[in-house]
Structure 1
Amino acid sequence: MDEAAVPAELARLWRISSESRLGRPAKLDVGQVVDAAVALADREGLAAATLPRVAESLGVTKMSLYRHVGSKDELLALMQDAAAGPVPSSLDGTGPWRERLRLWAGEQRALFTRHPWLATAPVSGPPQGPNLIGWFDAALRALRTTGLDWGAKVGTIMLVGEYVRANAQLTQGLEAGRSDTGKDQAAAEQAYGRAMAALVSPERFPDAAALFASAAFEDTGADTAQADFDFGLDLILDGVAAAIGR
């Protein structure tokens, strides 16, 4: 590989060192900077992972970080790839595409649970780092036997990935909204349904009134978040199956 042809930000993302091994070892490296930033984001949210806060947590000056991270945007890219981590062993191997893609989506959902800020971090382009490429490769492998062309495979992965991401954002929002009530999602949905049933008149909102008058919000089950996730994912996978069938 011609390392000279690799842009500096990609070299740091892939941990390709351009420094001489001679002389005193550096007190700080890219990995330490990124680990500190991810730890801050995990504890306090993405907004906390600023260059000054990262520098403070490492006991160095902000300017010293620029030797390892070129900009705030680059730090975010490094954080996203580091937080994604290596692909779980559960995604190794091959098998029925629907089973494998469902498993991939579930592992992505678990990733957003471990690092909630990942679900709301801005996306500025396709995956570029080794860990995110690993996740992308695992999804492509899940679709290997489908007969879909490359464009359809990439489109499918984007659709499923964005669904998981949006679901994680929704889940986080709902959890934050009921944090002061002490209710779980099932209880919150029941309270919502009862309140709307008292307010929504069939004359003004006939179909919404019929919904709230039904038992839809009373018999939701214990883990409504999982049920909602599975329902939406199944709809998407049904569409993928139809595309494969064509």
Structure 2
Amino acid sequence: MSDVDEPELPRGVALAWGIAANPQRGPKREMSVERIVEAAVEIADADGLAAVSMAAVAAKLGFTPMSLYRYVSAKDDLVLLMQEEATGAPSDASRAAGDWREQLEALYREQLHNYLQHPWVLDVPITGVPATPNSAAWMDAGLHALAGTGLTHEERLAVMLLVTGTAHWAGTVMAGYARTQRERGFDDQSIASAEDALFRTLITADAYPDLREAIDAGVFLDESDPFSFSLARGLDGVADFIAEAQRDPARATAREPWGAPADAEIAGDKKFREAQKAVRDAERMLRVARKAERQAAREARDRHARQRAEG
């Protein structure tokens, strides 16, 4: 497909990929999309997503709201860019954490950490998969972990959704409890004790026998992490499924020779890991070069359009 045939991207997506045309004139040299997004993230980190508005961001930067619209034309685009900035990209360490399971567990921990650092991201409405560089990087890292396992591409994506879904739900619950702690001055033990007391008062053995049995066993006072347990049991099932898939000759074509090998001894070889890192570095440089190429092409088309209009 040629540049001329490329679909018109939504403004926010184009900004995220660095291929949107920049304003020809700006109010001041200090203004930029990056600075606007940075200011918006600072507001959201301090006061939540609801506190973010074009007026609030403009006031923080010392400009008028209209000046922002020259760079980010809609709040939805701004929120998309904020989400892209806050979630970041997975670390190289997560992609080299070990076998497929260790890599997925590392991705889960990193995603959960990001949610707890920027809990307002959990309030962003889900309207589909964000088509942005960092969201693509998270999906790519999960699929990379499962390459060579014998799973089909659809199955790998489903496993990745298990990991990201658990991280999202864990972040939602943990961020909610953290907010309660800040607002009410409670600690973990105080919250657990209050919940336990409430359930002991309301839940009777006659009406809810199994729940009451769990309460009497101290389930609401337990300090273990239910989300890590759930993820571990889910990945146990994935491991069993992979073992079955690898024994199925019909699935042999699902294993790419360039994927992460199932042999843990090979995966841990120093030279092999160095080669993997070199490939990742080359892929990253290629993405940067392609982004620069797209930006240059867009700017060239803009110049030619202005020249035609002036001529």
Would the TM-score normalized by the shorter structure come out above 0.5? yes
Could you list the per-position Cα deviations for residues 96-142 of structure 1 after superposition, in whole angstroms to 9, with x for gaps in the alignment?
11111011000100111111111221122213221221122111111
1:172-187 paired onto structure 2 within 5 Å: 172-179=175-182, 182-187=185-190
Deviation at 1:13, TM superposition (A): 1.1
Retained in 1: the 8 A contact 2:116–2:174? no
Matching residue of 2:95: 92
The answer (yes or no) to whether the contact 1:94–1:142 under 8 Å persists in 2 is no
1:34-73 aligned within 5 A: 34-73=37-76
Whole-angstrom CA distance in 1 between matches of 2:81 and 2:214? 46
Determine if contact 2:16/2:132 at 8 Å carries over to the other structure: yes
TM-superposed deviation, 1:52: 0.9
Question: In structure 2, which of residues 6, 9, 14 is the aligned counterpart of residue 7 of structure 1?
Answer: 9
Structure 2 residue 145 is matched with structure 1 residue 142: yes
Larger Rg: 2
Asked whether the 8 Å contact 1:14–1:129 carries over to 2, the reply is: yes
Letter aligned with residue 212 of structure 1: I
TM-score normalised according to structure 1 size: 0.85
The aligned length equals 241
Q: Against the structure 1 CA distance between its residues 180 and 64, is the aligned structure 2 distance closer, same or farther, given a 3 Å change threshold?
A: closer
Alpha-carbon distance in structure 1 between the residues aligned to 2:93 and 2:190:
34
Residues 26 and 217 of structure 1, relative CA distance in 2, 3 Å threshold = closer
Segment of structure 1 superposing worse, 92-101 or 136-145: 92-101
Shift of 1:63: 1.4
Q: CA deviation at 1:84?
A: 1.5
Structure showing greater relative contact order (alpha-carbon pairs closer than 8 Å, 6 or more residues apart): 2
- Secondary structure of 1:168 counterpart: helix
Out of 121, 128, 136, the position equivalent to 1:133 is 136
Q: What runs of 5+ residues in structure 1 fail to find an aligned partner?
A: none
Native 8 Å contact 1:97 1:145 kept in 2: no
Could you tell me whether the CA contact under 8 Å between 2:72 and 2:78 is conserved in 1? Answer: yes
Q: What TM-score do you get using the length of structure 2 for normalisation?
A: 0.69
How far apart are 1:182 and its partner, in Å?
Answer: 4.0
Counterparts in 2 of 1:48 and 1:19: CA distance versus 1, 3 Å: closer
- 1:103 matched to 2:103? The reply is no
163-172 or 125-134, which deviates more: 125-134
CA distance in 2, matches of 1:197, 1:14: 53
Equivalent residue for 1:238?
A: 236
TM-aligned CA deviation for residue 26 of structure 1? 4.3
Q: Percent identity?
A: 32
Query: Counterpart amino acid of 1:2?
Result: D
SS in 1 for 2:219: coil
Greater share of residues in helix: 2
- Post-superposition offset of 1:94: 6.3
CA shift at 1:20, angstroms?
A: 8.8
CA distance in 1, matches of 2:80, 2:30: 23
Over 6 Å off, 4+ runs = 20-25
Which of the residues 73, 77, 84 maps onto 1:74? 77
12, 17, 29: which is aligned to 2:32? Answer: 29
- Partners in 2 of 1:25 and 1:54 — Cα distance? 15
Looking at structure 1, the residues matched to 176 and 237 of structure 2 have their Cα atoms a distance apart, in angstroms, of: 27
**CA–CA distance in structure 2, aligned partners of residues 119 and 48 of structure 1:** 15
Q: Which runs of 5+ in 2 are unaligned?
A: 245-311
